[in-house]
Each structure stands twice: as structure tokens, then as C-alpha cells.
Amino acid sequence: MEQTPLVASILNATLLVVAILALIQGAHGIGIGVNYGTVANNLPPPAMVAKFLSKSTTIKKVRLFDANPEILRAFGNTGIEVTITVPNDQIPDITNLTYAQQWVKTNVQPFIPATKLIRILVGNEVLSTANKLLVSTLVPAMQTLHVALVAASLDDNIKISTPHSLGILSTQAHPPRQIQTGYDTHTQCTIHGVFVVDDNTKLRYTNMLDAQLDAVYSALKVLGFEDVEIVIAETGWPSVCDPAQVGVNPKTASEYNGNLIRHVTSGAGTPLMPNRTFDTYIFALFDENLKPGPSCERNFGLFWPNMTPVYNVPIIMRNNVAVVANSHYKVFLSIVIVLSLICTWV
């Protein structure tokens, strides 16, 4: 997002922390990705989706919430980088090396090298589930899956990660330097105002994304991992929502995504992480009409099922099909941000 005054925005974001800097900025490079969710009954065939993304858009990365073989096969020979996910209910099983090796044989090896698999996410926001079995087996599962990749000589190209809620930060407040580490909470952070000044660093924050990125960076620094690279793996703005939701419409969704893309690819970085770009995955590729919850949950899509834009998708379509969004933000009444952190097992 642009460094312009921002009173409010609606942001649903996931932070992806990857321990190997060269993996993100060297071998794979900075780029814009998209979350490809499939909780719907009206989506086009994966082969059609893969062809559309590779031929008609500038999207270079895709994150899947499972390891759907039809989708993995569809992205073969497209050059698009793919991240897959081990479902939460399989985490205890993955701690068994034989099971982990079979998982790799079934969900990874048949699709490479044609499909450019770069990452496996083990579970999704496991700590916030408060499920003691899942929590206790998460790291062992990551370790075992890593061993399975090593045994198959795949660990150089495919990394193991896991997404977490921002609840792993015990202090849900600003300024970012005051953020500490912890878990077993699932909270939302709300800030009102044109800008916020960190009393400790005297740094000025004009958008919530920078503040939350720096909060995570500060927590990592406390633990001695300040060199870990941060990737925004899930962020977006709905185009439709319930009447009580303010500022949700196609125009503001276009503005948000346009400003987001410009900001994360500009090299400006954040107040605590200047001169950086951030690998970013937009949520989401399609509206998902079977998702539960408020209507906005079903309306984050960039494209309709017929693959026409829900709104003018900024800096996404090839051949200048879509216009670049206005660089200024609207002023809204409230801002609520939910982020998740993904820690990588190297």
C-alpha cells in the first residue's frame, strides 16, 4: 500500500516467514501470488485456471490449501510456483517417517519437476486451535516431513513451513517494538487515526500493514531471528459484504490491492525494515460461494468463475487489460487486521 494517510482498512493477512533468504529473493524471486481456494461448486476446471493465470495474468505464485492432484497436474509446465498444504488432521500421522515418506511419494514426487513446487505448509493456524495433540505434534511433523524430503533429495527446492495466527504474539498492541512472543490466544488488533508514532523508535506508521509486519519483525528479533525473511502469504479485501460493513465494494477492493502491490514491490519496505520488497499472495483467486460465515467471506475473489475480473484488477492482467488503482486510500470508520505467522523448518 502507498505511504498515504490511512484511517481504516479491512485486511485479512497472513505473514509467511521463510528462513532461507536466498530461497525467496534468489532462486524464486519477489513476485505477486494468489491464494487458490476451492470451497465452491461453480469454479472452472484447474487446467483452465492454470492456463489463464500463466497466459493472461502476471501472477507468478499460487498457494493451495491442500494438495489437490488435479490442480498440481494442471500447473505443470506453466512456470508458476506452487505451495501445498498438509491438512491439520494429518499432522499426527506425519510424525511417522513411513507415513511422511508416502505422503511425499503421493503428493509431491508425481508432479515434479513439471510442477514447480516450492513449499509445503504443515497444517493451518495450529496453535490457535488449542488442540493439544496437534500442537504437540506440529514441530515433530515438520521435522519428519523434512527428513522425508531429504531422503528424496528434494529439500533444496522444497521448504517446510506452518502458518500461525498472530495470536502467537502475546501483546496485541502498538507500537511494534513492544510486541512480545507467546501463543494460545486469537485476537484482533484495532487502531484509529491518520498515523501512529512508535514512542520507542519515533518511527511513523501510515498504514496498518507496515505496523503489523514490524510487529512480527520485532518479535522475531527478540528471539534472535531478525534475519528471517517475511513474505505476505494472505492479504485481500472483499468486494461485497453485509450492510453493516463499511467501505466494502469493488472500488475499494481495487484500490487496496493496487496500493498493496505497489507498496510491497516498491522497495520502500517498512519503518523497521527499510529498502525491502515482500513476496505477496493476494486472497483470493475466486469468490468461494460455499464458505460459511458473513457474506464477505465468500467475496474476496479477484475473478468470477468465468475468469473475468470482479473489478479492475490492478497490475494483475497482462496487456494493460486492467487499470492501475488510484494511489490514495479512502477514509473509513474502523480498521481490523488479522494476521498469521508461518515459521519455516529449514
Is the four-CA dihedral 228, 5, 261, 36 of positive or negative sign? positive
Confirm whether 210 is domain-assigned. yes
What is the maximal distance between C-alpha atoms in the chain? 54
pLDDT at 299 over 90: yes
How many domains, in total, are found in the chain? Answer: 1
Could you tell me which residues come within 8 angstroms of residue 200 by beta carbon, excluding any fewer than 6 positions away?
175, 177, 178
Minimum mean pLDDT among 45-49, 71-75, 179-183, 334-338: which range?
Answer: 334-338
In this prediction, residue 319 carries a pLDDT of 66
148-159: pLDDT as tens digits: 999 999 999 999
In this prediction, residue 16 carries a pLDDT of 43
pLDDT at 329 over 70: no
pLDDT at 287 over 70: yes
In this prediction, residue 275 carries a pLDDT of 95
Confirm whether 208 is domain-assigned. yes
User: Residue 311 — pLDDT band, cuts 50, 70, 90?
Assistant: very high
In this prediction, residue 9 carries a pLDDT of 32
pLDDT at 199 over 50: yes
In this prediction, residue 337 carries a pLDDT of 30
Confirm whether 269 is domain-assigned. no
Enter the C-alpha cell of residue 104: 511425499
pLDDT at 218 over 70: yes
Most confident listed range (93-107, 276-290, 330-344): 93-107
- Lookup result for grid cell 531478525: 226
Enter the C-alpha cell of residue 36: 487458490
CB 260 within 8 A of CB 338: no
Confirm whether 328 is domain-assigned. no
d(CA 104, CA 114): 16
In this prediction, residue 69 carries a pLDDT of 98
pLDDT at 101 over 50: yes
d(CA 197, CA 234): 26
Confirm whether 201 is domain-assigned. yes
More confident residue, 224 or 173: 224
Active site residues: 125, 234
Confirm whether 180 is domain-assigned. yes
In this prediction, residue 183 carries a pLDDT of 36
In this prediction, residue 283 carries a pLDDT of 93
More confident residue, 125 or 83: 83
136-145: pLDDT as tens digits: 999 999 999 9
pLDDT > 90 fraction of the chain, expressed in percent and rounded: 55
In this prediction, residue 85 carries a pLDDT of 96
Confirm whether 216 is domain-assigned. yes
Quote the domain boundaries for residue 215. Answer: 171-228
More confident residue, 277 or 178: 277
> In whole numbers, what is the pLDDT of the chain averaged over residues?
79
Confirm whether 33 is domain-assigned. no
